[in-house]
């Protein structure tokens, strides 16, 4: 008995193998679907999944805080700084927020210069963005060390009130800080390749926009953390 052939007159297993190879070739060559490149589409999918993760963390935080029986520490006092004998509430957090939001502006300008093919200006602005991100992470490390060594806050305990405060704080801000740190490395890699003319040879600077999507997402998440954790 003859083996049935596929419409392309190839045996079915051979046609299936060719189909998988074509799919892999499409993904690896950055083909477009619905006028959106695979790189941008995959970044949007990643950001969507990350949105669910951060939403779960913040929802869990709000639930824990509402259900806590012990008093919740006052953020204005916990995260304040003493300057010249005067306690300034949320000063460090305000500076951190200003730094991160400012980095969104420099990143947006970098994307603009990249599409105008002014790669040196785009790379310089990406390096400024990375520097602002690194500054944010450094201030966050200072904030953590202050809470751990001066205030005695731990993930399993808190001398200032509800024990859940420490676990919520370190989990949420630590997860966000990890994203910022990864973003700084990502921006440095892309900026270095920009300066070397790698994307000039390809004639495609969309990678800068993709990196910008990630960075703007990180900044947006911080706005929610700032509002729900530090101002509530």
Taking CA 34 as the corner, what is the angle to CA 29 and CA 37, rounded to the nearest 5 degrees?
A: 30
**Grouped pLDDT means (10 residues each) for the chain, 232 residues:** 49 68 69 72 95 96 93 88 86 95 97 94 98 98 94 89 92 97 98 91 85 97 94 88
Residue 220 · residue 179 · CB < 8 Å: no
Over its C-alpha atoms, the chain yields an Rg (Å, rounded) of 24
For residue 228, what is the DSSP state? Answer: I
Q: How far apart are CA 200 and CA 73, in angstroms?
A: 53
The domains located in the chain, with CATH, are 1-30 (no CATH), 39-230 (1.20.120.80)
Residue 157 · residue 163 · CB < 8 Å: yes
Residue with tokens 């630590």: 174
The predicted structure's pLDDT at residue 30? 57
166-189 burial by CB neighbour count: b if 16+ within 10 A, else e?
A: bbbbbebbeebbebbeebbebbbe
């Amino acid at each position: 008995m003859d083996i049935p052939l596929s419409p392309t007159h190839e045996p079915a297993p051979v046609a299936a193998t060719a189909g998988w190879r074509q799919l892999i070739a499409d993904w690896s060559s950055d083909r477009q679907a619905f006028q959106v490149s695979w790189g941008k589409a995959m970044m949007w999918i990643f950001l969507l999944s990350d949105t669910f993760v951060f939403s779960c963390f913040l929802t869990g935080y709000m639930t824990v805080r509402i259900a806590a029986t012990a008093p919740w520490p006052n953020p204005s006092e916990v995260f304040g700084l003493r300057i010249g004998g005067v306690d300034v509430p949320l000063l460090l957090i305000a500076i951190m927020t200003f730094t991160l939001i400012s980095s969104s502006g420099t990143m947006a300008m970098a994307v603009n210069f990249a599409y105008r093919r002014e790669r040196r200006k785009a790379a310089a602005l990406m390096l400024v963005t990375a520097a602002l991100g690194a500054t944010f992470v450094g201030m966050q490390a200072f904030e953590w060390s202050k809470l751990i060594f001066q205030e005695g806050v731990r993930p399993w305990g808190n001398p200032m009130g509800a024990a859940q405060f420490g676990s919520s704080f370190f989990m949420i801000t630590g997860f966000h800080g990890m994203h910022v740190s990864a973003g700084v490395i990502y921006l440095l890699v892309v900026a270095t390749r920009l300066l070397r003319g790698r994307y000039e040879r390809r004639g495609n600077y969309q990678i800068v926009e993709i990196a910008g999507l990630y960075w703007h997402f990180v900044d947006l998440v911080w706005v929610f953390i700032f509002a729900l954790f530090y101002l509530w």
